[in-house]
């Protein structure tokens, strides 16, 4: 039995498979032994299908126990094999070693890996369709088991969808398959977004972050347009300085977007709400606590005019620009527009000293030089590599070329925490791991602290935060290093966070001269109550 992976399944088919799995799971739960014909007839009626199909679905679910096992698959003739044994072995080995994991790369990456491996030994690379066909030949049950999906629907569990995305009864991490997380995001309510934001911000504050930028590009139509307003509300409650990236998606799935149409907006809708938020919240004065960034999601998920009009609005209102670039989409953008993402954004005017991109792990050195020449910055998020399995971003090259670099967490969809302190350590250690393969040396540990402070402030266009000096905002955190954890490290405090790491919350976090976290408590807030309210709101979301 063969079939596509979840992120290759049509959304409607996937939703129907989820409905089937829930119905069959409940059916089997109450009938652990022998079932009668009448029982199956009732299930068939519920599923609006024939009794024979109901029997088949029960058998499939008992065998596979997965949503994938119930996806309605079109049957077609088997393709013939025209490859020699050596190329077949390269395909099989590459799939087994790199692709059949929970954190598998994109299909395009598998194709590149197979083709590169073939060319390296003098063999003609197989066509993409051939590689995909071999992948589809793999037994469904083996694929599901290798990818960790065997328990995904056996016990439905309510999960906090944005602060942490879990699957199955034993709470295993999910990597970042858009087919899984985006449909969940599309069902969230306004309250879910509020509590998810509050949860992430609270963790940031606990670990010394005083200013946060969030790229919120998920706007389910039923949730309304006030999601950014609620994020500002959450930041105000915690006393956090907040820059809101108003994201959006305008390209429908029928034209190649990865975002469900339930989160689709028109360019006019998106631009109008950006303008509303700027008028309502943006404060350009020194030490401001609220600012707005115009941030269309990705070039692959938006029309050309969305980016052009975003740049025009941002420059007219004097705010920053942001989007995602260089995280695997460049070949798609090149196929659509005849150039890779960096050049495409530059052509649209979406580049410059007022612009920063997230990720950029797949960019060439020439593309990094292009960004450096325009003054475009990079928000580097190191920890998604652990779950997503993408490449380690070439920070040494960025440093050598003079790019502006800031540091981020990337959020729960691909990280499962919002601990920027930990990300400083991860960023440095991952670069050390790859040092022998790089053309440029790893920057010293203190530079990674700078990326997380002054570097981030520069990306946001702030000159009043990011360092401790007279006339700057009173933003700081304090850690008492008179602990066993820090024996032998106190001679070099600037390198401590990046090189040794801090495995606990700060002893104190101050934002704009106000202590907001101290001695393990949020000042003036009941964390237990905040926790209970967030759990109650997010418990409404089920995988």
Res 178: pLDDT: 55
511 forms beta bridges with 514
Tokens 């025009």 found at: 312
User: Which pLDDT score, from 0 to 100, does residue 66 have?
Assistant: 64
DSSP 30: T
CB-CB contact of 325 with 344 (8 Å): no
Q: What is the pLDDT of residue 352?
A: 98
Please report the pLDDT score of residue 349 as a whole number: 98
| Higher pLDDT among residues 498 and 117, named by residue | 498
- What's residue 413's pLDDT? 65
Cα–Cα dist 431/422, whole Å:
14
> Which of 18-32, 166-180, 375-389 is predicted least confidently?
166-180
DSSP 78-116: PPPP---HHHHHHHHHHIIIIISSTT---HHHHHHHHHH
Q: Which residues contact 458 (CB under 8 A, 6 or more apart)?
A: 377, 404, 406, 466
List 173's β-bridge partners, or say none. Answer: 166
Taking residue 228's Cβ as centre, other Cβ atoms within 10 Å add up to 25
Over residues 52-105, the pLDDT tens digits come to 788 888 887 776 666 666 766 544 344 344 577 788 888 887 777 655 555 556
Tell me, what's the pLDDT at 168?
A: 32
540 — phi, psi (to 5°)? -80, -10
Q: State what percent of residues in the chain have pLDDT above 90.
A: 59
- Averaged pLDDT, 141-154: 38
pLDDT digits (tens, 9 = 90+) for 252-282: 999 999 899 999 999 999 999 999 999 999 9
pLDDT of 204 > 90? The answer is yes
Quick one: what percent of the chain has pLDDT higher than 70? 83
Q: What is the pLDDT of residues 282-335, one digit of tens each?
A: 999 999 999 999 999 999 999 999 999 999 999 999 999 999 999 889 999 999
With a cut of 50, say whether residue 402 has pLDDT above it: yes
Q: Indicate the pLDDT class of residue 358, thresholds 50, 70 and 90.
A: very high
Angle at 289 (CA atoms; ends 410, 471), nearest 5 degrees = 110
To the nearest whole number, what is the mean pLDDT of the chain?
A: 84
**Is residue 159 pLDDT above 70, yes or no?**
no
CA–CA separation, 71 vs 130, rounded Å?
23
With 60 as the cut, is the pLDDT of residue 244 above it? yes
Which one has a higher pLDDT value, 209 or 74?
209
Q: How far does CA 540 lie from the centroid of its chain?
A: 21
Q: How many CA atoms lie within 13 A of 24 on its CB side?
A: 27
What is the C-alpha to C-alpha distance for residues 23 and 16, in angstroms, rounded to an integer?
A: 11
pLDDT digits (tens, 9 = 90+) for 483-512: 999 999 999 999 999 999 999 999 999 999
- In this structure, of 38-42, 71-75, 133-137, the range with the lowest mean pLDDT score is 71-75
Query: Is pLDDT at 157 greater than 50 in this prediction?
Result: no
Task: Write down the residue that tokens 């079932």 correspond to.
Answer: 35
Distances (CA, A) of 24 to 53, 54, 71, 477: 12, 9, 13, 52
pLDDT at 439: 94
**Could you tell me the CA-to-CA distances from 504 to 20, 408, 425 in Å, in that order?**
44, 18, 13
User: Strand pairing of 172-173 and 166-167?
Assistant: antiparallel
How confident is residue 191, by pLDDT bands cut at 50, 70 and 90?
very high
First to last CA, the chain: 25
Distance CA 310, CA 350 (A): 8
Range with lowest mean pLDDT among 14-28, 262-276, 402-416? 14-28
């Amino acid at each position: 039995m063969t079939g596509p992976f979840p992120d290759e399944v049509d959304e409607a088919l996937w939703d129907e498979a989820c409905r089937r799995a829930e119905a069959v799971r409940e059916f089997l739960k109450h009938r652990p032994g022998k079932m009668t014909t009448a029982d199956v007839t009732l299930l068939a009626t519920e599923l609006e299908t024939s009794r024979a199909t109901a029997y088949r679905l029960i058998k499939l679910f008992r065998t596979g126990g997965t949503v994938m096992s119930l996806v309605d698959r079109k049957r077609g003739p088997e393709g013939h094999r025209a490859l020699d044994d050596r190329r077949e072995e390269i395909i099989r080995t590459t799939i087994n070693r790199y692709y059949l994991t929970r954190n598998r790369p994109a299909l395009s990456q598998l194709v590149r890996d197979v083709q590169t491996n073939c060319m390296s030994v003098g063999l003609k690379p197989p066509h993409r369709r051939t590689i995909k066909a071999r992948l589809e030949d793999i037994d469904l049950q083996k694929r599901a088991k290798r990818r960790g999906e065997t328990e995904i629907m056996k016990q439905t569990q309510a999960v906090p969808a944005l602060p942490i995305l879990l699957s199955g009864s034993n709470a295993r991490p999910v990597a970042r398959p858009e087919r899984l997380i985006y449909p969940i995001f599309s069902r969230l309510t306004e309250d879910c977004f509020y509590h998810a934001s509050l949860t992430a911000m609270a963790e940031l504050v606990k670990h010394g972050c005083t200013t946060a930028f969030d790229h919120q590009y998920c706007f389910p139509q039923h949730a309304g347009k006030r999601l950014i307003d609620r994020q500002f509300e959450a930041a105000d409650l915690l006393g956090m300085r907040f820059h809101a990236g108003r994201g959006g998606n305008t390209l429908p799935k029928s034209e190649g977007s990865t975002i469900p149409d339930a989160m689709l907006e028109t360019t006019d809708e998106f631009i109008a709400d950006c303008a509303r938020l700027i008028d309502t919240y943006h404060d350009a004065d020194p030490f401001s606590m609220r600012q707005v960034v115009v941030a269309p999601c990705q070039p692959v998920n938006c029309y050309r005019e969305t980016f052009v009009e975003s740049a025009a609005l941002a420059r007219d209102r004097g705010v920053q620009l942001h989007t995602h670039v260089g995280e695997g989409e460049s070949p798609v953008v090149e196929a659509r527009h005849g150039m890779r993402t960096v050049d495409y954004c530059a052509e649209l005017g979406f580049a410059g000293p007022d612009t920063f991109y997230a990720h950029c792990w797949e960019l060439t050195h020439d593309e990094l030089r292009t960004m450096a020449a325009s003054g475009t910055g990079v928000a580097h998020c190191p920890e998604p590599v652990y779950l997503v399995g993408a490449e380690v971003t070439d920070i040494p090259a960025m440093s050598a070329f003079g790019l502006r670099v800031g540091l981020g967490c990337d959020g729960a969809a691909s990280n499962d925490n919002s601990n920027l302190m930990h990300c400083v350590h991860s960023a440095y250690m991952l670069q050390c791991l790859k040092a022998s393969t790089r053309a440029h040396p790893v920057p010293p540990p203190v530079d990674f602290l700078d990326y997380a402070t002054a570097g981030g402030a520069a990306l946001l266009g702030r000159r009043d935060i990011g360092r401790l000096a007279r006339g700057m905002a009173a933003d700081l955190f304090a850690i008492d290093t008179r602990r066993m954890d820090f024996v032998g490290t106190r001679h070099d405090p600037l390198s401590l966070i990046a090189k040794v790491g801090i495995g606990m919350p700060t002893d104190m976090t101050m934002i704009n001269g106000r202590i907001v976290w101290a001695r393990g408590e949020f000042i003036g807030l009941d964390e237990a109550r905040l926790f209970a309210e967030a759990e109650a709101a997010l418990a409404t979301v089920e995988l």
